[in-house]
Amino acid sequence: MGEIKNGALAPVTRLYGVGEKRAASFAKLGVATVGELIYHFPRGYENRGNVKNIDQAEDGELCALILCVAGAAKTAMIRRGMTLTKVAAVDDTGKCNITFFNQPYVRDVLREGAYFRFYGRVEKKGKVAAMASPAFEPVVPQKPLRALVPVYPLAAGLSQKFMASAVKDALSLAFSGESAVREYLPTETRKKYELAELSYALRNIHEPQTVADAERAKKRLAFDEIYLFALSMLREGKKEKAPSRFAFPKPNRAAFLSRFPYEPTGAQKRTFDELDADMTSGKRMHRLLTGDVGSGKTLCAEYAVYAAVSAGAQAAVMTPTEILARQHFESFAPVFEKMGYGVELLIGAMTAAQKRKACERLRFGISQIVIGTHALIEDTVEFRELGLVIIDEQHRFGAAQRARLAEKSEGCHVLSMSATPIPRTLAFVLYGDFDLSTLDEMPPGRKTVDTFVVDGTYRERLYAFMRKNVEEGGQVYVVCPSVEEQKEMLESESGEKLDVSELYTFGCEEEKPKLFAAVDYAKKLAEEIFPDISVGFVHGKMKSAEKEKAMSAFARGEMKILVSTTVIEVGVNVPAATLMVVENADMFGLAALHQLRGRVGRGEKKSHCVLVSESKSETARTRLKILKDHHDGYKIAELDLSMRGPGDFIAERGGYVRQSGEVSFRLATLSGDSKMLYDAFEAARETYARDAGLDLPENALLKEKLNGQRERGNDL
């Protein structure tokens, strides 16, 4: 094949103005070809259609003004290397003084008497307005200006203006030549779900004339992402199980359960049966165990470990945090050491000598069980006869990390666990390669955590309630959505740094309340609100040793109020914790909120969860009410799924596609249109049912798309 001159596979160097340096800048964005560039979507749009008169514009408002240049622009050197160009412009209601820094060329462009649309932030003193370095475009009769101007994620060496120009060229090249972008979605599917053609969607995501154009384009492209994801899952399906040399005899379940003072639930007994069937079959187990907070996953994990060690094999349990590893160790060790089995802990906080001794006992088979973090996958960790690997909170590990532990022993059984209840309809698509066990029944006696939804007007009462809990011997979690106060910024065409919340981003125009940040909030609580109560904080950016120290102090009761990010979603068991406060609760998914609520209510005292939200959104209020009214994690997940669609569940798991590395959903996770997401899943099932191999002529391009996506690991 000769050089590809046009089409999606043409390199970005085919675009005007793109040489080696700019190609390197594009590469930092994951863009090497024309096709990848047209899938580099805008993060949002500047609403330049928001045109005001000078007298209408508010001080500090970001808007557009259509003005006539009132005099010649003047440029002066204000210091070495910096020029200042000034020009006055007017409309029927007033005057605006405009300045440009280091843009002397505007003096020749902004001619007296010409009309331009200026877009930027307006400053006002009395009736006189001012703008600094606004974006500007000439107003030409019969040539309407675009209302929505895209704002892209950038890399050093690229500007918004150049990116928009490059995308325009890319759109011209991508639909011609031997590797042209072609419509791959079956016509029947497009018509049934009222989807735009691919060419329309790609052009209008970048160059929409109206908000409706952008929305229609986004709907099609988001649909494609979920549809292709679901279809690839269905086509792979369950692999035939590999043989395993670990065909364990059926364990003595009665002997195992006699060591516990309670009767297992029906769901646990069903899971025991499924584990028995897997581990005695001579085939390698590949099972996912999901269960609500407090549903008894640990007992099921201990039963699987018992099946392995009672047959003479070893078992390894890997957790994402040292805190959780210690918690499991404290649960497993008393049970198994009484049976005569050695249990090791292996985490980063241990000394080199402690790690060396633990590894020796595992290598020689002196110890049968090890519980640890990703330290388990180090080359220094060897086993005498590893027959079972358990991965807790499996979605928090990368595929390579999960595989590395299992590869330490050929044919060993693998049990993955997740504390996030997943509706079965979604689990079928997300985890099609796993056998699925579901703990959908709670042990008797588990206390309900009363949940309240309040706004900022309850702040003083909330502080009083926190103090009351502490004075009565309880402890308090306070969860914040961010670590430190920060704004997510993008550079506009004019060079101004824009807060992302100021952009039109597909229906997210609602003014966002101030985000509570863990570090700052903890300081305020400690110094101003509760100076007489011990307050600490923990977040994901802290070193492991620091997190461990803070969580341990809280677990021992030395710290009464712990301010945190969601790092405590899965954490140490603190029976004395009686109150969970979640600030900006509308910023969290319901699954995460349900997990957080599960951190309290583990002791004898009555516990409460308070969700604080200033959101005015009816959707946000409805979602939080679901959590207030329901305590069944699976029911909450079903209701959440019906409102939001599967996108957020997929996002929480990294949006992976089996065997194909990571796939990045650019648009689907921004969607609030659950119907569209349900439709995409249903369309994939319809396509698969009709033509599982995609061998029909009308599915040829779809098959080519999926195969190409697998080979290149991207969207093309």
Residues 300 and 420 in one domain: yes
Residues 230 and 279 in one domain: no
- Residue (of 646, 670, 645, 665) closest to 655 by Cα position: 665
Last residue of a domain, one of 121, 145, 169: 145
Residue 2 lies in a domain: no
Confidence bin at 341 (pLDDT 50/70/90) = very high
Model confidence at 618: pLDDT above 70? yes
Residues 233 and 257 in one domain: no
Residues 203 and 287 in one domain: no
The confidence score (pLDDT) of residue 665 equals 64
For residue 88, give the CATH number of its domain.
2.40.50.140
Residues 53 and 141 in one domain: yes
650 or 241, greater pLDDT: 241
Confidence bin at 603 (pLDDT 50/70/90) = confident
Confidence bin at 459 (pLDDT 50/70/90) = very high
Q: How far is CA 462 from CA 306, 496, 564, 608, in A?
A: 46, 40, 17, 12
- Helix ranges (DSSP H) in 431-531: 459-471, 518-524
Model confidence at 298: pLDDT above 60? yes
- Ranges of beta strands (E only) in 334-474 are 343-346, 369-372, 386-392, 413-418, 435-439, 450-454
Cβ-based neighbour number of residue 179 at 10 Å: 21
580 or 648, greater pLDDT: 580
Residue 167 lies in a domain: no
Confidence bin at 505 (pLDDT 50/70/90) = low
Mean pLDDT on 384-401: 82
415 in Cβ contact with 284 (< 8 Å):
no
The confidence score (pLDDT) of residue 460 equals 95
Confidence bin at 507 (pLDDT 50/70/90) = very low
Cβ-based neighbour number of residue 388 at 10 Å: 29
In this structure, the dihedral spanned by the alpha carbons of residues 678, 481, 323 and 291, taken in order and rounded to 10 degrees, is -20
Tokens of 356: 């060396």
Confidence bin at 592 (pLDDT 50/70/90) = confident
Mean pLDDT on 400-422: 85
User: For 645-676, what is each residue's pLDDT tens digit?
Assistant: 544 444 343 333 222 223 346 776 533 455 67
The confidence score (pLDDT) of residue 394 equals 67
Residues 270 and 417 in one domain: yes
Q: How far, in Å, CA of 453 to CA of 6, rounded?
A: 56
Residues 616 and 674 in one domain: no
What is the pTM (predicted TM-score) of this model? 0.61
The confidence score (pLDDT) of residue 395 equals 63
Residues 427 and 468 in one domain: no
Mean pLDDT on 4-10: 75
Residue 23 lies in a domain: no
Q: What is the mean pLDDT of the chain?
A: 84
Residue 246 lies in a domain: no
496 or 100, greater pLDDT: 100
Confidence bin at 346 (pLDDT 50/70/90) = very high
Model confidence at 640: pLDDT above 90? no
Based on the structure, what is the number of domains in the chain?
A: 4
Confidence bin at 25 (pLDDT 50/70/90) = very high
The confidence score (pLDDT) of residue 242 equals 86
For residue 425, give the CATH number of its domain.
3.40.50.300
Confidence bin at 551 (pLDDT 50/70/90) = confident
Print the domain residue range for 535: 450-481+516-630
The confidence score (pLDDT) of residue 324 equals 83
Residue 326 lies in a domain: yes
Region of poorest pLDDT, from 150-164, 368-382, 399-413: 399-413
Model confidence at 478: pLDDT above 60? yes
Residue 208 lies in a domain: yes
Q: How far, in Å, CA of 110 to CA of 104, rounded?
A: 11
Tokens of 173: 């090249």
User: For 254-294, what is each residue's pLDDT tens digit?
Assistant: 999 999 988 999 999 999 999 999 999 999 999 989 888 77
The confidence score (pLDDT) of residue 656 equals 30
Q: How far is CA 91 from CA 48, 86, 567, in A?
A: 17, 17, 54
In this structure, the dihedral spanned by the alpha carbons of residues 465, 467, 468 and 474, taken in order and rounded to 10 degrees, is 110
Distance of CA 473 to the CA centre of its chain: 36
Residue 152 lies in a domain: no
701 in Cβ contact with 184 (< 8 Å):
yes
Mean pLDDT on 448-460: 93
Residue 72 lies in a domain: yes
Confidence bin at 567 (pLDDT 50/70/90) = low
Q: Of all residues in the chain, what percent carry a pLDDT higher than 70?
A: 84
Last residue of a domain, one of 91, 125, 145: 145
The confidence score (pLDDT) of residue 714 equals 45
Residues 564 and 619 in one domain: yes
Model confidence at 376: pLDDT above 90? yes
Mean pLDDT on 677-690: 84
3-state secondary structure of 600: coil
Residues 109 and 211 in one domain: no
Pairing of strands 115-125, 608-612: unpaired
Residues 257 and 400 in one domain: yes
Q: For tokens 């060690």, what's the residue?
A: 309
Confidence bin at 710 (pLDDT 50/70/90) = low
716 or 182, greater pLDDT: 182
Last residue of a domain, one of 145, 173, 204: 145
Residues 472 and 398 in one domain: no
